[in-house]
Structure formats: C-alpha cells, structure tokens
Structure 1
C-alpha cells in the first residue's frame, strides 16, 4: 500500500491520504441506473404496469405485483422521484445526500456546514439526514437519497456492512464515508485517527502521574468508539499500567447517561484520579457530575472532541480536538473530484487530531504537583 502526504492548509499538521487497492468506487465501466423499462422487460410486462405497481395503484393482480417487485429487487431498481421533470443534459440533479451521526452533536453540525459550504459554491444543494446511530435509519435515509437521484453520497454509517451500496458504486455514484470507515465495500473515506488521538489523551494523563484512569465511552457497536477504546488501552499497556482493574464504562451516548455513570463511579471504594471521556456529549456529562461532586478541581479530565465554550469553564476542558470542518470539506471535494472524472483508486484520508491544554487535563493526582 502506498502512502502520500498532502499538506493540510490548517496548522494542525499533515493530512494523510492512503490509496486503497480496490477500485470498485471508480466510475469506469459503470452501469447505468435501471429504469422502469428494464424492470418491465425482466418481468415480462408493460412499462405502464410497472408504474402502477410502483405507485401502488389498484386492480393489479398479486402475481403481477410479485413478478414486478422481484424484477425490481434483482435490478436494484429505485423509483425516480424526478421522473417527468426536465433533466439537465448531463443527467445530474445538482444534489448531494449527507448522512450525519446526530444533529444534537456539534461535530456533526460542523461537518454538515463544511459540506454545505463546498456544495453551494458549486451550485449544488445538500439533502441532509441524521443517523442517530440506528442501523435501520441508516438504510432508510440512504434509500431516500437514492430515490431522489442525488449525484453523490457523503455518509456516516453504523451498520456492520455497507455492502448494500455496492450496486451504486458499480453505477459510478460517488460515495465518501466520513468519521467511520466502510465495511463490506471499498470506497473513499475521510476520518480522524481515533486510536492515535485516544492514545495521545491517555499519555497526557499518564505523564502527569495518573495510574488509575477511567474510560467513559460511546456504544461499542460504533467503530470510532471501539478505536478510541483500543488506543486508550494500548497506551496504558505501553506505560506498564495493568488494565484489568481499569474502570471502563461504555454504552454511553448522551450527557445524562455519562453524568449518571460518573456519579456512580465515585461511589466505588477506589475511584479514579483521572478520566478519559471518548466523545463530546459524554464529556459534557462528566463535567456536570464532577461539578455536582465538587471534584472538578482535583480529578483530571481529557475529552475526545472539542466542546463549545470549553475554554470558558474553570478549569477549562482539555480535549483532543478533531477537525470536522476539514473532514467535511475534504469529503465534499472528493465527491466533486469523482463527478469531474477522477477514476483513481479509493483512498482513506486521515485528518490529524491535536491536544488542546486548558487546565482539566493538567491536574495532578492528589498529593502531587
């Protein structure tokens, strides 16, 4: 695998773009989208009959409905919501589909804004939907985008496999994954180095003398959560810290669940002297709990993802910050490059993280510093 370094135009470091071996995302030899005519031919019925089945019109026999639906599934046919409208000469709709993790999360909002800014500059509209880390919602949203004949997709995903998108890739639809890498297919992705960022946060706490560091994490089914947990544990191992007694609390997904978990943590006989919270909403819950307990000045905290107003608290919240603006902008640029004819192999682009020291992560264990 070859690696090339692309200098980022931000001060946070270098952005790594790694070509992947599979070229399934390239539009060369791409197949056109199936139409009602294709479905009708395969089913052995007329186009008007297909239209009646697709639109749920009455007076169509059950056998015919079954035959048309089977043909549609075989061809992976998606009804065209733009059918009957005037189409541009190049066949494009000047739209993108964007699926983000959750509109409640500032990270997702920043990715959305960056994609939208890049798209608007090219006269392209963005259809956006929120995943809420629900696998069923993921495929429903993607299906809705495809029915609207979007020109490209930018996706945050949660299902175990995105192989259901293979037909779209074969047709040449640009698909770029953000935040989380795809499984079951090979396609462009733009991600942070989650394991490395988690290791950076953990090392920062270890260097200040902490040996009992708790991990509070998101749902394990989420790829980024697993990677951050891995980076945390591997860094403890490199420092010679036994991990069997390290408090690990997972399946947290909002501030309230993280707050409750933190309060419970400090009811145990041997509570931690430091916390690594692996998601920004989790960090919010930890901050609330530490303040309730009056421990925010003696328990160290480093969070993954920055928080609005984190620098205005006392102490300020030390974080490993991602760059969602760069992630969104790079993803949009990748989609447009594909639409403009780029047939290079699919690439994984890594946007670096950086540690921002604000006070909470620099608190030494009691009796030290």
Structure 2
C-alpha cells in the first residue's frame, strides 16, 4: 500500500476520454493514489484535461514498466488502444504490477477469435490465458484474485447484463437474439475522424459495422458461459448525436409463455446484491444513468417476445467506472467506493 494505506496507481494513455473519467473517480477514492500518468507527449495532465487543473499535478511520462515499479506502482489502468495495450501489459505483470486493461486485447479467450475480429494476431497469449473478464456482476469472484483484468466493452455490458437472467434461467431461445444499440459520439474516442466531425454526426443517426462489430463475440462469449451452451446475437450499433450514453433495445424469444411479472422477478432475483444494476419498473433513459456507474434495466413482454431495455453511461459504467469497481474487488474494498 502507498501513503496512509493507499494503493499506488498508474494510468496509461492519459490523453483520452476514459482516462479523464478514470482519474476523476480515483481522485475521489479514499484508498487510491495516482502517482504516474503515461502518454507519448510529456506535458501536464491538465493540459490534456483542463478540468483536472489544480486537482492532479502530474506531468505525463513515457511508458516504462520498471520506472513505474520504482515509483511503487501496484496497479496500472491501461487506457491504451487495442494492439498497443498488449505490448504494455506483459512488462507490467513481469514487474509484479496488477493490471486493469480497458482495451479489447484480453477480453476474448480465443486468440484466433481476436485475430479474426481485430485483424491482427495476439502477441501475448501467455497472459491472455489467465486474464479475467472484468464484469463484476458475473465474474466478481474471479476478479478478486486476478493479476490481469480485461475490462469489458461498453456495448457488451448492456447486452450481457441485459440478457444474463434470461439465459441463466433457460427462458429464451439462444439464437436469433437481437441487440440494437445506440451510442453517443464519445464512444468513438478522442482521436478526430471524419465520421465524428460535428457537421457529419450532428442531427444524424446512423448504423455502422452492421454484422461485423467487434463486440459481437464478446457478448456471445459471456452469455455462452452464463448459459452453458452457445448463444448467438445479432448486434447492430448506431451512432447518435449526443456526447455520452448507451441505450440498447434487446429482443428475445421465450421458450414458453411468460408474464412480465415473472420475468421482472427473475431479473430482481438475479441482480440481488449487485449494487450497480438497477432493475426498473419504468423505462430507462440515458439521462438517468449519465455520470454514474449504474446500468438501468427494464423488461417488457410484447406479442410473444421479451424486450429488454438497457441504459448506461458509456465512459463510466461502460469503461472507467467498472474499472474502478474491479479495482475495488481486487483489493477487498466495497464495490461502491469512489462513486
């Protein structure tokens, strides 16, 4: 532990949106002390993120695992892009530093699946073999002792947590499930691209990566684990002109006639003791979850289909917040600390 029992932390890739959200949560955390932030450019963290001026007086430094170890770093949060992340994780683990990786590099158990969906081979299969998928509501017991946590994607959490009670309860057909998702533009990251230029995306809604989005196998992998047999989803993401938030509408076919009350009871039971899943009777909206680590779920039965509605903040619950939730589990803290 660091000063006054605090865990010393490094944030890798400090210039992006997930990094600033992560830093804000960790600055509130009574057991966390940020001692290093890495980036390619050596400039003050507050130059990247003016909201941190006067709150975090650190200059970004180049990544060097040994230098981070010398500073006493015990946990590193990786906010690096996929591909770059796996190059940093191995040397950190070699230094005895535990890692919560926010990239996609360690989420898929099968390196061949990673190569297929991400277009490059996996260079760290040794550590991939013992990475724990960091969805606390399902894998929390495994997260506690993990040296490497693969933080889940933003879209997949709505799909996985939205469907897990139905899959676990053997209530639905495990193919033909439709996950229709909408995301704010911050989900695309901070690097400028034409599609996210204001005149391109404002006043416009568009689908993208139809049938080939990389989060599809992530959703299927977790739900297959939950149900014990293969689950297939048709996942379609859409870009909507707002800063942040994800809203997913999920359609599944029940195996027998079910009532809304029965399905709602199944959800409430499944998420008992899971403080960040709110099972609602009313319909969720992105405004209700923005700025929080909550994922809001509601269920309806309509014309023989079960419809699940799921909402979350893509930067907090979808990334940085669930990363801190995992950090808390790894250190035996209450999951809710820092929020």
Decide: shared fold, TM above 0.5: no
Kindly name which structure, 1 or 2, has the bigger radius of gyration based on alpha carbons: 1
TM-score normalised according to structure 1 size: 0.32
TM-score normalised according to structure 2 size: 0.34
